[in-house]
Chains A and B, each alone.
Chain A
Amino acid sequence: MSEEAGTRADELTLETLDDDGALSQALEGISGDRGDFLRKAALGGAALLAAFATPAAAAPSKKNDTAILNYALTLEYLQAVFYTEAIEIGALSGALKEQARIVGGHERGHVKALRGVLGDAAVKRPRFNFRGATESPAAFRKTAVAFEDLAVAAYKGQAPFIDSKAYLAAAISIHSVEARHAAWIRRLAGVSPAADAFDRPFSESKVRRLVSSTHFIVRTRRRMTPPFTG
């Protein structure tokens, strides 16, 4: 990925990370047998763009809740390991390091909370290779902006499908913290912390496509060097 200084605001989007989506299969593996639900959820995503359109697909249920929380857990793993690794590598300083330290702590907290709720049903942490994004301030900033905006859109896309009031309250309470993170890192990256009056939801399929395109999730169990315990 480009690490040019002075990247323009409109380049700081997930689309800049969107390559060829070659690792979608890897993420598919993580998704396990939830594919059917996730496809249904994706159908509902378009309807959510219209205010007060009742999601037509994927009736909320306990089973769907588990799938949604595992989907959220995968995104939280991604973020938690990213920040933890960036701090370990030590290329960040000043305000950026402080952001990584605090936000990393939150993401690890989200992982712990979701794993606690899911118990035995929790998906395992995948292996990640951040391909340099944790090794320079410029690459870190750009990737962190993308991750945080993505997390906001992902939680927003799933909230209306959550059946349990307790799970919904938990997801909603994480959702707005991801938005705080997004605004924080955007300001540090020199782009508007709040670009629009309304944040858009992303369907699960869109999120999965964007994450896949980063190639950050690797399927193999081969140990990446250096190893991080996240």
Chain B
Amino acid sequence: MTDPIFVEDVHERTDGAGAGSCLTRANLLEKSVIAGGAMVVGGAVIGGLPALATSAPSADHDVEILNFALLVEYLQASFYKEALARGALTGELREFARVVGSHEREHVAFIKRTLGRKARRKPPFDFSDTTRDKDKFGPTAVTLEEIGLAAYNGQAANLTKGALAAAARIVSVEARHASWIRDILGRNPAPHATDAGLSAAKVTAAVKRTGFVT
């Protein structure tokens, strides 16, 4: 069950990179996912997706899913932090980055606290000029927020009830962020009556397409 407009959003090119460099970055991501010990979850997502998508909720499965969510939260938090540090944003865009960046940092802290020593480490990111160019910042923020929202919605039914209660407190805030930045950009904040979740494979593919995970 995929939402066409949503897919369009996460597919949209926001980094301005050519197809060649995107492909290269995707390959690099693939290698780091398979090779990196800290990215075991990413490996499981890519390598064992059917199992991840259909297995019954369990504490172990919660750890996998939350580590997956943690990667997206790291990505978002780092993006806003870098954009603010580079100082290109003004007005409501800057306010958005400030407020939303602080939320994402809180999400990172919460998930890390929940996972304890099982929490994955933050990978290096390269946001290229999307954090330096205010015209690229907005559309990129839409993509990252929609990815976050779809990632949580897609995994909701795979979580234990306790983990679901915790994740539900985060996902609606991601939806608020997505709506806010869309409205700032003059896009429809709520393009559909329902937000379909994306499978872990599709979220992983969307993250790869950004080229931000080096």
Q: Which residues of B contact A172 (CB under 8 A)?
A: 153, 156-157, 168, 171, 197
Interface hub of B163, B172, B174, B183 (most chain A Cβ within 10 A): B172
Query: For chain B residues 131-158, which have a beta carbon within 8 Å of chain A?
Result: 149, 153, 156-157
Decide: B176 and A51 in contact? CB cutoff 8 A: no
**What distance in Å separates the Cβ of A179 from its nearest Cβ neighbour in chain B?**
4
- What's the minimum C-beta distance from B201 to chain A, rounded to whole angstroms? 17
Closest to B150 in A: A176
List A residues 39-81 near B (Cβ within 8 Å): 48, 51-55, 60
B90 to nearest A CB, angstroms? Answer: 18
Check: B196 CB closer than 8 A to any chain A CB: yes
User: In the complex, are the beta carbons of B190 and A197 less than 8 A apart?
Assistant: no
Residue contact A53 to B178, C-beta cutoff 8 Å: no
Given contacts A180-B190, A194-B177, A197-B103, are A156 and B168 in contact (CB under 8 A)? yes
Measured between beta carbons, the chain A residues less than 8 angstroms from B164 are 159-160, 168
Whether B179 lies near A55 (C-beta < 8 A) is: no
| Chain B, residue nearest A54 (CB) | B162
The distance in angstroms between the C-alpha atoms of A161 and B165, with both chains bound, is 9
Distance in angstroms between the alpha carbons of A179 and B114 in the assembled complex: 24
Query: With contacts defined as CB atoms under 8 Å apart, how many contacts are there between chain A and chain B in the complex?
Result: 151
Chain-B contact segment, one of A29-37, A98-106, A117-125, A210-218:
A98-106
Say whether A187 faces chain B, with CB atoms less than 8 Å apart: yes
List the one stretch of A2-10, A138-146, A198-206, A220-228 in contact with chain B: A198-206
Q: How far is the CB of A137 from chain B (nearest CB, A)?
A: 17
A152 to B171, CA, bound (A): 10
Give the docked Cα–Cα distance between A35 and B85 (Å): 53
Chain B residues with CB under 8 A of A55? 161-162, 165
Decide: B175 and A177 in contact? CB cutoff 8 A: yes
Do A176 and B195 touch (CB < 8 A)? Answer: yes
Binding site secondary structure of chain B = helix
Residue of A nearest to B192 (CB): A177
In the complex, whether B209 has a CB less than 8 A from a CB of chain A is: no
Task: Determine how close the nearest CB of chain A comes to the CB of B183; give it in whole angstroms.
Answer: 6
CA A105 – CA B193 in complex, angstroms?
8
- Mask, A109-150, CB within 8 Å of B = 1, is 110010000000000000000000000000000000000000
Which B residues touch A54, using CB under 8 A?
Answer: 160-162
Task: State whether A51 and B175 are in contact (beta carbons under 8 Å apart), knowing that A159-B165, A160-B164 are contacts in the complex.
Answer: no
Shortest Cβ distance from B18 into chain A, in angstroms?
33
Contact pick for B165, options A160, A169, A180, CB 8 Å? A160
Report A-chain residues with C-beta under 8 Å of the C-beta of B192.
106, 177
Q: Which residue in chain A gives the minimum CB-CB distance to B171?
A: A176
A193 interface contact, C-beta 8 A: yes
CB distance from B153 to the nearest CB of A (A): 5
Contact call A103/B173, Cβ cutoff below 8 A: no
List A contacts of B103 (CB < 8 A).
Answer: 194, 196-197
A183 contacts which of B156, B160, B175 (Cβ < 8 Å)?
B175
Tell me how far the C-beta of A114 lies from the nearest C-beta in chain B, rounded to whole angstroms: 11
State whether B165 touches A194 (Cβ < 8 A): no
Q: Which residue of B lies closest to A192 (CB)?
A: B99
Cross-chain contact B180 with A193 (CB below 8 angstroms)? yes
| A198→B107 CA distance, assembly (Å) | 8
Report the minimum CB–CB distance from B164 to chain A (whole Å).
Answer: 5
Q: Specify which chain A residues have a CB less than 8 angstroms from the CB of B177 in the assembled complex.
A: 183, 193-194
* Residues in A whose Cβ lies below 8 Å from that of B189: 180-181, 183-184
Known: A52-B163, A172-B157, A184-B190. 11 other contacts (CB 8 A): A52-B162, A52-B166, A55-B162, A106-B192, A174-B194, A176-B149, A176-B195, A180-B179, A193-B177, A194-B100, A197-B102
Subset of 7 A-B contacts with CB under 8 Å: A55-B162, A109-B194, A152-B172, A172-B153, A176-B149, A183-B183, A193-B176
Q: What 4 pairs across the A-B complex have the smallest Cβ distances?
A: A179-B175, A197-B106, A179-B172, A183-B179
List residues of B whose CB falls within 8 A of some A CB. 1, 99-100, 102-103, 106-107, 110, 114, 149, 153, 156-157, 160-166, 168-180, 183, 188-190, 192-197
